Amino acid sequence: MSEKQVTSERGLTLLGQVREIAMRLPEVIEAVDKFGHTSFRVNDKPFVMMGEGDGETSLSLKVLKETQEVLLQRGGFTKTHYIGHHGWVTLDTEVAPDWNEIGELITEGYLRSAPKRLQKQVMTP
């Protein structure tokens, strides 16, 4: 699948929902990489990546390896090509996402990527 920047109506809707969750976290930036993927980053480390190709939108999330195993066994997620061995999963976007769960997974990825000073801000009630 040839990946490119998200441009479809469905993809932009998904991107908007992801953006709303990710941008609430401290010091997050949104960037488009040289492959056209939109990523959400903290400390220049991506924790969410989105792309589009062949009419499909992809949403990949950085999670703990333990979380990855649970999600893969449960279904609705696959190991992300090329980076799955680092704990990345890709959501099956044909199924309506559970936005509470996606929010938790985005936060988990953020915590895996953020420096300790930012992790403390998120973890402190």
Q: What is the pLDDT of residues 5-56, one digit of tens each?
A: 899 999 999 999 999 999 999 999 999 988 889 999 999 999 999 999 887 8
Distance (Å, rounded) from C-alpha 80 to C-alpha 61? 9
In a domain, 23, yes or no: yes
Domain at 53, CATH number: 3.90.1150.30
Locate 41 and state its tokens: 């980053």
Count of the separate structural domains present in the chain: 1
In this prediction the pTM is: 0.93
Give me the pLDDT at residue 125, please. 67
Q: What is the domain extent for residue 28?
A: 9-123
Collapsed DSSP state (helix, strand, coil) of residue 31:
strand
Dihedral angle, C-alpha 30, 34, 36, 39, nearest 10 °: -30
In a domain, 2, yes or no: no
Q: What is the pLDDT of residues 73-108, one digit of tens each?
A: 999 999 999 999 999 999 998 888 899 999 999 999
In a domain, 113, yes or no: yes
Distance (Å, rounded) from C-alpha 99 to C-alpha 61? 13
Give me the pLDDT at residue 68, please. 97
Predicted confidence (pLDDT) at residue 2 exceeds the cutoff of 60: no
CB 53 within 8 A of CB 1: yes
